[in-house]
Amino acid sequence: MAEKRRDRDVEGRARSARPRDGLGRPLPYGAPGVERAPEGVVRAPDETLREAQRLLDAGMPFHAHEVFEDAWKSGPAEEEALWRGMAQLAVGLTHAARGNAKGGARLLLRGAERISGYRAPYGIDVPGLIAWAQELAERVEGAPVDPAAEAPRLTG
């Protein structure tokens, strides 16, 4: 029986080289996919917000989550909860768009809770995002949502 090996990056970490669709779902090798956001990009907060908003507006919340993940991993420790919460909001929308209502609602609410301790850093509309996440979490019922139509405005 042939051993299946996971794709690895140059440092030996497991990375899937499979193409992905716009919601981050893996596709068969060789299938056309959506270009993935590069990992480990250090951006200024306003650049992070602009790129994430562009991806959300394009119906690609999974990719926006990766942008926020870069921010939480490269930013100051006191902002980790902010960027991690923003990533959870994007992943919550991803799950809702995939039809996973329970997981989507859970992540939306977790992300809202995580950012709730912040006022309006970098112009982020924290109260608006919390209201958006709570409303969407209550409304999703298993039928996939349109991620572009449901994309929140990140800044006020």
> ∠100-53-111 over CA atoms, to 5°?
45
Whether 30 has a pLDDT exceeding 50, the answer reads: yes
pLDDT in tens, 118-143: 999 999 999 999 999 999 999 998 68
Q: Which has the higher per-residue pLDDT, 1 or 41?
A: 41
What values do phi and psi take at 2, rounded to 5? -75, 135
pLDDT greater than 90 at residue 117: yes
**pLDDT of 1 above 50:** no
Q: Strand pairing partners for 34? A: 20
SS3 string of the chain? Answer: CCCCCCCECCCCCECCCCCECCCCCECCCCCCCECCCCCCCCCCHHHHHHHHHHHHHCCCHHHHHHHHHHHHHHCCHHHHHHHHHHHHHHHHHHHHHHCCHHHHHHHHHHHHHHHCCCCCHHHECHHHHHHHHHHHHHHCCCCCCCCCCCCCCCEC
**Which phi and psi angles does 14 have, rounded to 5°?**
-65, 130
Rounded mean pLDDT, 11-19 = 66
- The per-residue pLDDT of the chain, averaged, comes to 89
Token pair 């994309």 is found at 151
Residue 40: both structure tokens together: 């480990």
Contact 38, 69 (CB under 8 A): no
Q: What is the pLDDT of residue 71?
A: 96
> Given this model, what pLDDT does residue 16 score?
64
Neighbours of 91 (CB within 10 A): 24
